[in-house]
Structure 1
Amino acid sequence: MRNRAKCSQRIPPTVTTRSEMTVPLICGLRASDLKSVGATHTRGFSSLSDECIHGLEGGLCASCFPKAAPDIAPGVATRGSRSKSAGRAPSLRSSPSPLTVTLGGPNPTLGARTATAKPITEAKATGTVKPVRSTRTAHDNVGEQRIYHVTHIRNLAGILNSGRLLADASDAWIARPIVDLSSAPQRAARRAALVAGDDSASVASYVPFFLSPNARLWDSLLTASNDPRLSPEAHSSETYDFVFLVSTVKKLHDARTGADDNAAAAVAVTNGDAAGALTRFGAAPETADRMLRSLRADVESQKIREAELLVTEQFPFELVTLVGVANDKVRDAVRAILATGAHKPKVVVYPPWFHAVEDTAAL
């Protein structure tokens, strides 16, 4: 009785559990002692709640009531130990790649049974299968290549009167150009330089054309460089006083179709200044065509800016397809000059041709 009295003095009268049931506490135990065993009741006290500390009914919590691991006999496969790849679709990587299949081997699209049923012997494969080499090359339409002749606007009326552009050494001159772009030393150097070696015509016997509107000689004039090839009159002229007379290789070729061999060989191509000591010439039709294609193919090279296309003796003005000018005022002046002639090519304003290469790249 004395022990029971002491116990009753230490125990509060009631406690509320999670199931909101009011029950007397066990003598000598606290609520924390009950939680330490994983449930809110102990054996022999069925009046307590069956919930575990996680709020689940007794026996349903895997943490508070873990199940014993099943005994697995050695060598017996169970459903849980099935291989991961057993039900997986076969990987596409398992089939041979078409890029690695050699000629004469099995077709990668057929099954292994077909490949083994009809083997191809090495001797048969080497005797019937030959490598195929493509002979197709990119076609370069050289005919679309533009050619450019730069002259002063004051020379345009004389060109229309004669109906042609004349070479410097031509005997057909009636009146020399009012403004000559080449200096006297440059004209002398071109008269001394021969196109095809000894006993051939000089460079001065050809009408010169640029292959690019950004030709280095023209760029020297735009940048006011002290280029000895340019005359003082050219240096003192304004940029907009010059005009571009433009044609194409196709136009020139069509005009010479049906001509004799001498006329067909009257076009030459150079890979630099025609008066330069190291400049190479393509004087024959085959070599001229080959050099022109080479210049056009090397897009990274600046050689085409130095190259020239030379037409012997004269170039008919009727082959000019375009006249490029710097501004509207010059365009109106050129149109007034062309109005007196029979051939009236299109006159266009194209300022980039009249800016230096550095300035054009910055636009």
Structure 2
Amino acid sequence: MVSCAPEREPRDEGFHLADECIHGFDDGLCAICFPPKEPEPRPVVTAARTRTAGGTRVARPAPRVAGSARAGASLADAPIDPKTLRIYHVTHVDNIAPILGEGAVLADLAGAAPVVDVSAPAAREFRRTAPIDGLDAVVADYVPFLLSTDAHVWNAVRTGTPDPRLAEGAVERQPADHVILVGSVAGAVGARTDTVGAVVVTDADAAAGGVAAASAWPDVLRMLQRLHREEDGARLLAAEFLVHECLPLERVLLIAVGNDRVRDRVRTALDAVGLRTRVAVYPPWFQPTAETDAE
């Protein structure tokens, strides 16, 4: 079994969850009960003019309230908080038992043994040989996570759209036969921020050639900021967040499911191993996006 314990456990990284909403979410995860706040306007300096005996001169600047465009520009420069950035790992519900048995979500080359493989065999083999730029590692050394629940590869499952990365059965099954393990960027890296390659972020499929990849922690944060600040969000839907070898189950904040039947099954499995990970039924994550329906 791969050891997932970090050298030292962070004690106050915002991983524990707050009040639960009616959908079973908390810590701001639910976009319905915790809608994003509107950005506060930023004071902008304008020059006030005063009249003197010798003519008009520029006086001390007076503040005014900026419009939304200027306020948005200031937010774009604000650093992101890795504690609040969510990452999502999709797997079939039948794989919950082996994951619980390992005590962690394992990378392919770290010993993952899915009962039902979501990945196409050819795609999995390719990731075992696809190098990560700047590292002595391949993509299969890492656990893959998505940065959005509307990511292209997951939406292919939700819409039953064939995708070369997915096993044939993955797009034939009901989306609700899958579960989504939710973590945070901060939880994934833990105390390993000084370790280059502990986590990697790519702006597209990590195994594809020519993708941009960041593996040093400051570079990871900068790329995440760019991906989340882009107006069209296209690269965010294609991006991957990779965690070296494994993600311990205690760093999984939530297991999202599509219906009560799968929720009860997951809770029974968690009870069997004495874990109290939150399980929430949230159908919107398991349904096609409005954008897809409109195409």
Q: Same fold (TM over 0.5)?
A: yes
3-state SS of paired residue (2:148): coil
Aligned to 2:174: 238
Tell whether 2:222 aligns with 1:290: yes
Q: Which letter maps to 1:247?
A: G
Tell whether 2:126 aligns with 1:186: no
Task: Give the Å deviation of 1:267.
Answer: 0.4
Aligned to 1:225: 161
Aligned to 1:279: 211
Residue of structure 1 aligned with 2:88, choices 145, 148, 168: 148
Q: Which letter maps to 2:231?
A: V
Residue of structure 2 aligned with 1:316, choices 248, 255, 258: 248
More strand by share: 2
3-state SS of paired residue (2:126): helix
- State the aligned residue count: 236
Q: Is the 2:227–2:236 Cα contact (8 Å) retained in structure 1?
A: yes
1:290–1:112 CA distance, 2 compared to 1 (3 A)? closer
Moved >4 Å (runs of 4+): 98-101, 359-362
Q: Which letter maps to 2:185?
A: V
Q: For structure 2, which runs of at least 5 residues remain unmatched after alignment?
A: 1-44, 60-73
1:99–1:214 CA distance, 2 compared to 1 (3 A)? closer
Task: Give the Å deviation of 1:361.
Answer: 7.3
Q: Is the 2:181–2:254 Cα contact (8 Å) retained in structure 1?
A: yes
Report the aligned-residue RMSD.
2.9
Return the alpha-carbon distance in structure 2 between the equivalents of residues 99 and 246 of structure 1.
Answer: 46
Task: Give the Å deviation of 1:165.
Answer: 0.8
Return the alpha-carbon distance in structure 2 between the equivalents of residues 243 and 235 of structure 1.
Answer: 14
Q: What TM-score, normalized by structure 1, do the two folds share?
A: 0.59
Q: Is the 2:149–2:285 Cα contact (8 Å) retained in structure 1?
A: yes
Alignment of 1:56-95 (within 5 A): none
Task: Give the Å deviation of 1:99.
Answer: 5.8
Q: What TM-score, normalized by structure 2, do the two folds share?
A: 0.72
1:112–1:250 CA distance, 2 compared to 1 (3 A)? same
Return the alpha-carbon distance in structure 2 between the equivalents of residues 178 and 265 of structure 1.
Answer: 28
Q: Is the 1:179–1:233 Cα contact (8 Å) retained in structure 2?
A: no
Return the alpha-carbon distance in structure 2 between the equivalents of residues 194 and 336 of structure 1.
Answer: 39
Identity %: 38
1:331–1:359 CA distance, 2 compared to 1 (3 A)? farther
Task: Give the Å deviation of 1:223.
Answer: 1.4
3-state SS of paired residue (1:296): helix
1:278–1:196 CA distance, 2 compared to 1 (3 A)? closer
Q: For structure 1, which runs of at least 5 residues remain unmatched after alignment?
A: 1-97, 102-106, 126-135
Aligned to 2:234: 302
Task: Give the Å deviation of 1:331.
Answer: 1.1
Q: Is the 1:271–1:306 Cα contact (8 Å) retained in structure 2?
A: yes
Return the alpha-carbon distance in structure 1 between the equivalents of residues 126 and 98 of structure 2.
Answer: 25
3-state SS of paired residue (1:142): coil
Return the alpha-carbon distance in structure 2 between the equivalents of residues 139 and 177 of structure 1.
Answer: 37
Return the alpha-carbon distance in structure 2 between the equivalents of residues 212 and 227 of structure 1.
Answer: 18
Structure number with greater Rg is 1
Return the alpha-carbon distance in structure 2 between the equivalents of residues 236 and 203 of structure 1.
Answer: 26
